Structure 1
């Protein structure tokens, strides 16, 4: 069924208690050079002025639709946005970030000119003047290396048809990690051009703040990351068994990096997860140490922290 009044691109943004940042994020979308958009803002139970700020802008610009709901997980909010979207393409943005004025135009041209289901641009802190057009397995391997792009949904534009094939897990806090590989796996092809068109704002209230400030790492956070990484490895091995060895390598690489951080930084609150990872690495030691992708520093850490 054709959706009435559809736009070329649906931009979806969740907001929760970001009154200091959300106006900047909204403005950066409204001044886009690509005009045929709808801007769906899901107010995720904010207790500050975030929802009111969104409503004020919706009164000024008919492209904005604001939905207010009780506080819920990010995944359920993103699913709500997807259900409301009418555009041929979907872009997620975060309420504390901002986009370059040609962000959407750049991604739209990248997708349409390369007949790609997914288009990816660079970010201010991860930029390369390099173009890649990839099939799913190649794009997934690039994703795992994180050299050119990472798991975050902002910086990606994808078809709504593709978006309908995935649903964000409503119980997961880290749905970028649990879903980005599924999105790329279902794409016909993926186009990447690393020019910086998006800016991530890093602060201590980000879900991923612990990756740059390790003092914020908690036992529950690490337990959830281990679970999601394990599920991702299993899913990739089942869907792309030819590359099972490299999927397993990436999981081990994550674990040994976390083992090293916990020891070096003295994160005593993560002892349970430390022991879990050391045990798993010990069981997978032979394959991990022998694989062709392992770095010398990873071998050193294995010798230092994981006994035979």
Structure 2
């Protein structure tokens, strides 16, 4: 594809010396050539910066910036400010993309006369097992449909990556500094700004499931951000689309379940855990009667309502199976 539109690819970098070269290799071979790659070194203490600088010496499309550590949101916001492209895409430094990642996003954007574009992704586990996210449906949808499908995990998710945005959206939208699960507080706002969203069926982004990542490591009170930001998202979405109230409830229940999963094995925050369990039980009938709620949600709600300890053990078995562990 030929086009004059410059696409800025923003890559936050923090202590990823084991992964950053693979990420950069995948970006440097993009079939869409009119790109700039902004590497935002967020106070790394390993060799990440040296690797970034070495690559920048070989390709002038790479721009390296160093700033004090402020977290993923702060690094993304910094990259947005420094970007010069009309279009933006985010790639995490421990992930990698297919060679036609940008070309694919840009082509479905243009073909659909859309405001933004989304592609699918693969989850790559350390065991070598790969799960590909699937999408079936119309190739161009409106904001209401995109939000509803996202709230039900129906082929569209909240991740900032695997998407192509107009830069102007980020005049109104910023990532929340100092928060975990920052995408949940941000991505839905870009949907609300869009009238036409192009959604591709093909997976072009490879998400690496790392057990040592911030989200997957030991539980801390910061992980309650998932609940607070999901509840804020629900309030905002319902203010625009009141008919999505059941969908937002399903997403809130998912946040409760996910937080319980993160807390599994921890003996801290027992009062909060019991409060979350109580809320899940309170909304049990509503979720079980929701025809669009995934079966996994319903099974979790049923088990938690009957016996949380049994649920926690079942979750650990499921997680091992999902990762492909014996």
Normalised TM-score (structure 1): 0.86
Q: Which moved more, 1:80-89 or 1:232-241?
A: 232-241
In structure 2, what is the Cα distance between the partners aligned to 1:240 and 1:283?
A: 24
CA-atom RMSD in angstroms: 2.4
- Corresponding residue pairs, total: 293
Q: 1:26–1:262: structure 2 CA closer, same or farther, 3 Å change rule?
A: closer
Q: Is 1:128 aligned with 2:134?
A: yes
- Report the alpha carbon displacement of residue 287 of structure 1 after superposing the two structures with TM: 4.5
Deviations 1:7-66 (A, max 9, x none): 520000010111111111111111100000111110000111111111111121111111
Q: Which moved more, 1:191-200 or 1:102-111?
A: 191-200
Match of 1:70 among 46, 65, 68: 68
In structure 2, what is the Cα distance between the partners aligned to 1:40 and 1:147?
A: 31
In structure 2, what is the Cα distance between the partners aligned to 1:163 and 1:126?
A: 29
Q: Which residue of 2 aligns with 1:275?
A: 274
Partner of 1:39, secondary structure, is strand
In structure 2, what is the Cα distance between the partners aligned to 1:219 and 1:83?
A: 31
Q: Which residue of 1 aligns with 2:241?
A: 240
Q: 2:30–2:99: 8 Å Cα contact kept in structure 1? A: yes
Deviations 1:129-185 (A, max 9, x none): 745311011101111222313221111111112232211111212211111111111
Q: Which residue of 1 aligns with 2:56?
A: 58
Q: 1:278–1:128: structure 2 CA closer, same or farther, 3 Å change rule?
A: closer
Q: Which moved more, 1:195-204 or 1:121-130?
A: 121-130
Partner of 1:279, secondary structure, is helix
- Report the alpha carbon displacement of residue 194 of structure 1 after superposing the two structures with TM: 2.3
In structure 2, what is the Cα distance between the partners aligned to 1:277 and 1:177?
A: 19
Q: Which residue of 1 aligns with 2:312?
A: none
Q: Is 1:20 aligned with 2:22?
A: no
Q: 2:9–2:38: 8 Å Cα contact kept in structure 1? A: yes
Q: Which residue of 1 aligns with 2:322?
A: none
Q: 1:257–1:190: structure 2 CA closer, same or farther, 3 Å change rule?
A: same
Deviations 1:73-130 (A, max 9, x none): 2111111111111111100001111111111101010111111122111112334374
Gaps of 5+ in 2: 123-130, 309-326
In structure 2, what is the Cα distance between the partners aligned to 1:269 and 1:233?
A: 27
In structure 1, what is the Cα distance between the partners aligned to 2:239 and 2:92?
A: 32
Q: Which residue of 2 aligns with 1:171?
A: 178
In structure 2, what is the Cα distance between the partners aligned to 1:303 and 1:204?
A: 28
Q: Pairwise mapping of residues 186-197 of structure 1 onto structure 2 (< 5 A)? A: 186-197=193-204
Structure 1: 4+ residue segments shifted above 6 A: none
Q: Pairwise mapping of residues 115-154 of structure 1 onto structure 2 (< 5 A)? A: 115-124=113-122, 125-128=131-134, 130=136, 132-154=139-161
Match of 1:160 among 140, 161, 167: 167
Gaps of 5+ in 1: 1-5, 210-215
Q: Which residue of 2 aligns with 1:297?
A: 299
Match of 1:181 among 168, 185, 188: 188
Partner of 1:269, secondary structure, is coil
Q: 1:16–1:45: 8 Å Cα contact kept in structure 2? A: yes
In structure 2, what is the Cα distance between the partners aligned to 1:186 and 1:192?
A: 16
Q: Which moved more, 1:187-196 or 1:63-72?
A: 187-196
Q: 1:299–1:27: structure 2 CA closer, same or farther, 3 Å change rule?
A: closer
In structure 1, what is the Cα distance between the partners aligned to 2:106 and 2:54?
A: 28
Q: Which residue of 1 aligns with 2:227?
A: 226
Q: 1:128–1:193: 8 Å Cα contact kept in structure 2? A: no
Q: 1:253–1:298: 8 Å Cα contact kept in structure 2? A: no
